Structure 1
Amino acid sequence: MRKVLIISLLLTSLACYAQDINYTQKTLNTLTSKELWGRGYTKNGMSKAADFIESQFKSFDLQPMDGKDYKQRFMFSVNTFPGQMDLSINGKKLIPGKDFIVGQASVGIIAKSNLEQKDSVTFLDAKNRIVVVLQDKLTWSVAQKVNDYTEIFIKKSSLSETPKSLAVNIENQFIPDFAASNICAIVQGATKPDSVIMITAHYDHLGGMGKDTYFPGANDNGSGVSFLLSLAKYYAANPQKYTIAFICFAGEEAGILGSKYFTENPIVPLKNIRFLINVDMVGTGETGATVVNATQYAKEFAALNQINNEGKLLVKINPRGKAANSDHYFFTEKGVPAFFLYTQGGVAAYHDVFDKPETLPFTVYENLFKLFVGFNKYLMN
């Protein structure tokens, strides 16, 4: 009965919570801008994104999590492509990102050669150790190593004939000690500051492939960061009895490295975290959302669903079990109760150059905001 009463009171008060949608859209445009260059490993993209997020926390008057510095610094290895990214097939020049991508662990190469067909989609230049593969869709990623060969993936629809020859000039640079930072801030709790609700999202994306092509990363995960910053702005103006903590992680695309580093070097005691909610790819939502770890924390998931259903916020919230697919994972492994929420429906762009802010409708952002505020109040009661 007490639980029902609490949730009823929460639903009554949800109407007075409003997300600043103009701020959210402006933030997303900044995060996906050419200036931040895909929030990645060339042209200081990730560093510029980190500075921007830090500036937002400061503007809201959030405090550094350790009381001194918003940035938790760490390093990891990464293969990058800062310069030339030129490819011609059968004399036709192809466009990086749209017509072709290079395998993320590829070594750089300059070559002109004929290709040997191995099967319907695979072609080889054995002498120069080049593999060409035709694909229906191009998706890129990040590698922490360099192979001794070069992979090139070409969109099938970009070619009108079978690849017979190529001319290629690809530059790679392996960085063994790339410097990155998690950005960490808190709104101190009024009466129970040692009890923490943590909201997280990764801010890194794929960066650039060559000197002229970058991956905006609007849904993945500019949407999550802009949503997190909107919540940070709200909670800065409306402190709660629990401490509300915010972390924007680096290194997620390279293997959820930032969150792994934080759990191994926690700035706040992990035992103090009442609950963690990670958001990654929340820019859609026409068909609802999915929560990873729903089966692990059935009581909290039931409450989340009740708040959602009675408030008519999202179409539905699908339960999913444990999965190592975002920054919640290493927290769960350390015993921290955590959800990972992502929305569904709408655009299908993922890890490609078409994941742009203008493709995201913002149709459920405000209701998702209300859902989070309501769920956090439930956790504190």
Structure 2
Amino acid sequence: MKKTLFISLLFLSFNSYAQDLKYVRKTLNTLTSSEFWGRGYTKNGMEKAANFIQSEFKSFGLKPMDGKDFKQSFIFSVNTFPGKMDLSINGKRLIPGNDFIIQQGSIGVKANTSLAEKDSLNFLTASSKLLVTLTDKLTWSVSQKVNDYTQILVNKSSLSEVPKNIEVDIKNTFIPDFRASNICGVVKGTEKPDSIILITAHYDHLGGMGKDTFFPGANDNGSGVSFLLSLAKYYAKNPQKYTIAFICFAGEEAGILGSKYFTENPLITLQKIRFLINVDMVGTGETGATVVNATQYPKEFALLNQVNDNGKFLVKINPRGKAANSDHYFFTEKGVPAFFLYTQGGISAYHDVFDKAATLPFTMYENLFKLFVGFNKYLMN
């Protein structure tokens, strides 16, 4: 009875604040712009995004997590493609991102030669150091190493005949000491500052392939960062009795490296984290959401569903077990209770050039915001 009364009073209080969808869309447009070049490893894209997030934290009035600096820097290796990205097959010039991608671990190559059919989808040069693979979807990623061969994935629909000849000039640059930063801020609790609710999202994406093609990364994970920043803005204006902390991680696409580094070099005592919620790909929600670690923390998952059912925010929240698929994982391994939430429905673009801000409906943004505020409220009570 007391729980039901609390939730009822909680939802009456939702009218006391307005969710700034205009801010979210403006932020998403900034994060996915060509200026930030896919928030990756060329054209200084990741650092520009880090500086933007740091500036937003400062403008809201958040404090650095360590009391000194919003940035926690670390180093890792990465294979990049900042320059030449020219490809013609059977005399037809192909467009990077739309017609083809370079496999992320490939070494650069310059050649004008014939191709031999290995099977119906794969075609090799005589040296076997250059492989062309036909595929239905072009999905890119990030590699921390360089192979001794080059693989080019070509969209089947871009060719009208079997690949026979290839002219290619692609350059890679391996960076053994790429420097990135996690951006960490806090809103100090008013009554129990040593109890922490942590909200996280990764801000890096895939960057660019050549000088003309970049991967905007709107849903993955411009949506999560925009959502996190709107929560940071709200909690800065409305401090809670617990400390509300925020981390935007780098290096997620290269292997959840930023969160791994943080858990090994924490700026806050991990045992003080009451709960962590990681958001990644939350720009949709028409068909609901899924929570990773739901089976690990059934009490909190039941609570989340109770808040959702009372507010009728999402049509359903699907439970999922433990998975090492985003930045919550290494926290869970260290004993920190954590959820990873992602929404479902809407666009299907993923790790491609079509994951653009204009395609994200954000139809469930306001309800998702209320769900988070309600869940956090309940955790603190």
TM-score range normalised by the length of the shorter chain: over 0.9
In 2, Cα distance between equivalents of 1:124 and 1:241: 63
What SS does the corresponding residue of 2:245 show, helix, strand or coil?
strand
After superposition, where does 1:50-129 map in structure 2 within 5 Å?
50-127=50-127, 129=129
Per-residue CA deviation, residues 348-367 of structure 1 (Å, 9 max, x unaligned), is: 00000000000001100010
Partner residue in 2 for 1:33: 33
TM-fit CA distance, 1:16:
3.0
What SS does the corresponding residue of 2:147 show, helix, strand or coil?
coil
TM-fit CA distance, 1:8:
2.8
Partner residue in 1 for 2:239: 239
After superposition, where does 1:167-206 map in structure 2 within 5 Å?
167-206=167-206
The one-letter code of the counterpart of 1:6 is F
Partner residue in 2 for 1:138: 138
In 1, Cα distance between equivalents of 2:260 and 2:13: 36
In 2, Cα distance between equivalents of 1:215 and 1:15: 37
TM-fit CA distance, 1:326:
0.2
What SS does the corresponding residue of 2:208 show, helix, strand or coil?
coil
What SS does the corresponding residue of 2:106 show, helix, strand or coil?
coil
The one-letter code of the counterpart of 2:236 is A
The one-letter code of the counterpart of 1:288 is G
Aligned residue-pair number: 381
What SS does the corresponding residue of 1:34 show, helix, strand or coil?
coil
| Contact 2:83 2:172 (C-alpha < 8 Å) held by counterparts | yes
Per-residue CA deviation, residues 231-284 of structure 1 (Å, 9 max, x unaligned), is: 000000000000000000000000000000000000000000000000000001
TM superposition outliers: structure 1 runs of 4+ over 6 Å: none
| Contact 2:7 2:310 (C-alpha < 8 Å) held by counterparts | no
Partner residue in 2 for 1:271: 271
Partner residue in 1 for 2:207: 207
In 2, Cα distance between equivalents of 1:6 and 1:112: 71
In 2, Cα distance between equivalents of 1:72 and 1:375: 28
| Contact 1:201 1:224 (C-alpha < 8 Å) held by counterparts | yes
Unaligned runs of 5+ in 1: none
TM-fit CA distance, 1:127:
1.7
In 1, Cα distance between equivalents of 2:320 and 2:15: 29
What SS does the corresponding residue of 1:35 show, helix, strand or coil?
coil
TM-fit CA distance, 1:310:
1.3
What SS does the corresponding residue of 1:57 show, helix, strand or coil?
helix
In 2, Cα distance between equivalents of 1:7 and 1:193: 24
TM-fit CA distance, 1:128:
6.1
TM-fit CA distance, 1:195:
0.4
Q: TM-score, normalised by structure 2?
A: 0.99
In 1, Cα distance between equivalents of 2:124 and 2:367: 51
Unaligned runs of 5+ in 2: none
Q: CA RMSD in A?
A: 0.8
| Contact 1:274 1:337 (C-alpha < 8 Å) held by counterparts | yes
| Contact 2:200 2:248 (C-alpha < 8 Å) held by counterparts | yes
Partner residue in 2 for 1:380: 380
| Contact 1:74 1:181 (C-alpha < 8 Å) held by counterparts | yes
In 2, Cα distance between equivalents of 1:136 and 1:3: 51
In 2, Cα distance between equivalents of 1:288 and 1:184: 29
Partner residue in 2 for 1:354: 354
The one-letter code of the counterpart of 1:82 is P
In 1, Cα distance between equivalents of 2:294 and 2:15: 26
After superposition, where does 1:215-254 map in structure 2 within 5 Å?
215-254=215-254
Partner residue in 1 for 2:12: 12
Partner residue in 2 for 1:44: 44
Per-residue CA deviation, residues 314-339 of structure 1 (Å, 9 max, x unaligned), is: 11110101000000000000000000
Partner residue in 1 for 2:341: 341
What SS does the corresponding residue of 2:107 show, helix, strand or coil?
coil
After superposition, where does 1:289-308 map in structure 2 within 5 Å?
289-308=289-308
Per-residue CA deviation, residues 212-249 of structure 1 (Å, 9 max, x unaligned), is: 10000000000000000000000000000000000000
What SS does the corresponding residue of 2:253 show, helix, strand or coil?
coil
1:280 aligned onto 2:255: no
The one-letter code of the counterpart of 1:184 is C
What SS does the corresponding residue of 2:182 show, helix, strand or coil?
strand
What SS does the corresponding residue of 1:112 show, helix, strand or coil?
strand
What SS does the corresponding residue of 2:374 show, helix, strand or coil?
helix
In 1, Cα distance between equivalents of 2:270 and 2:234: 24
| Contact 2:294 2:339 (C-alpha < 8 Å) held by counterparts | yes
In 1, Cα distance between equivalents of 2:320 and 2:7: 23
Per-residue CA deviation, residues 169-213 of structure 1 (Å, 9 max, x unaligned), is: 001000000000000000000110000000000000000001110
In 1, Cα distance between equivalents of 2:5 and 2:293: 26
TM-fit CA distance, 1:96:
0.1
Partner residue in 1 for 2:162: 162
The one-letter code of the counterpart of 2:367 is N
Percent of aligned pairs sharing the same letter: 78
Per-residue CA deviation, residues 97-145 of structure 1 (Å, 9 max, x unaligned), is: 0000000000000000100001110000132610100000000000000
What SS does the corresponding residue of 1:262 show, helix, strand or coil?
helix
TM-fit CA distance, 1:3:
3.0
